[in-house]
Amino acid sequence: MCGSSRAENIALDFASAPPSVVKSIRQRDLLNTWLRLYARRQIAPAIWEYQPVRLEEELWDLIYYTVEFSTPTPRLIIQSEGTRISRAYGHTGKGVPLDDYVGPRLAPFVIPIYHECVARGLPVYSVADVDDVYGRIVAYERLLLPFQTDGKVCHVIASVKTFCEDGGFEIKNLMRGNDALPRPKMRAVVDRELFHRAPGRIAPAETVEFADQPGSGIATGIIELN
């Protein structure tokens, strides 16, 4: 079946944003593939349709979830094992509900972001600062992509990137290594400009103006591309 989260959620505000809000080039590639599929019918695609070109290169940073609706609040079940983020949490979690995996301390900061993705059926991007075990500040960038089956979001893929301006950092136990909670910097639903335009191409029905040099005596021409 495409359950309730036992975590006590906190109210979070989500900004409205275009795809350009995502800064990581690799995450933008993942998002662009999703957008191409979304554009066909203006709904989230099925997960089996999703085949990014560099998918194998990204698997280490991806977490796959199934979404259960057997109870009023959706529950996300981890389907990935051995990802890089499992080192950040200190253990793998295949088959474990996400709220159980992150624990009651972190769940209020994590679960509502996933619930927003499931409820909206749109990508959600978030950035938070966390401290590694040595106190270095690490930016934790999370992109959530929803996938539908029979009109319901039954799968979510999360891409997680970590970045430290100081250079190297310790990812082991990153999310559990100290008492400091994540410090949210951004939470956004990608709900604007939901299309992907290949670079260097002109979109259909876009007006293009051609003009000769001044004094040439040749009138300006306007062409509409269809």
Once rounded to an integer, what is the mean pLDDT over residues 137-145? Answer: 91
Please state, in angstroms and rounded to a whole number, the distance separating the CA atoms of residues 198 and 195.
10
Residue 211: per-residue pLDDT: 41
Residue 6: per-residue pLDDT: 40
Residue 115's pLDDT band, with cuts at 50, 70 and 90, is: very high
Q: Mind listing the pLDDT tens digit for each residue in 28-41?
A: 999 999 999 999 99
Please state, in angstroms and rounded to a whole number, the distance separating the CA atoms of residues 6 and 99.
7
Residue 130: per-residue pLDDT: 84
Once rounded to an integer, what is the mean pLDDT over residues 116-126? Answer: 97
Q: Which two tokens stand for residue 20?
A: 């350009």
200: pLDDT strictly greater than 70: no
On whether the CB atoms of residues 194 and 123 are closer than 8 A, the answer is no
84: pLDDT strictly greater than 80: no
Residue 2: per-residue pLDDT: 60
Please state, in angstroms and rounded to a whole number, the distance separating the CA atoms of residues 206 and 100.
50
Residue 204: per-residue pLDDT: 45
Residue 88: per-residue pLDDT: 64
Q: Which two tokens stand for residue 118?
A: 């499931």
Phi, psi dihedral angles at 200 (to 5 degrees): 85, 0
Q: What single-letter amino acid sits at 157?
A: I
Please state, in angstroms and rounded to a whole number, the distance separating the CA atoms of residues 116 and 71.
17
185: pLDDT strictly greater than 80: yes
Please state, in angstroms and rounded to a whole number, the distance separating the CA atoms of residues 80 and 92.
8
67: pLDDT strictly greater than 70: yes
150: pLDDT strictly greater than 70: yes
Task: Find the range with the poorest average confidence among 13-17, 33-37, 176-180.
Answer: 176-180
104: pLDDT strictly greater than 70: yes
Phi, psi dihedral angles at 145 (to 5 degrees): -120, 125
Residue 219: per-residue pLDDT: 44
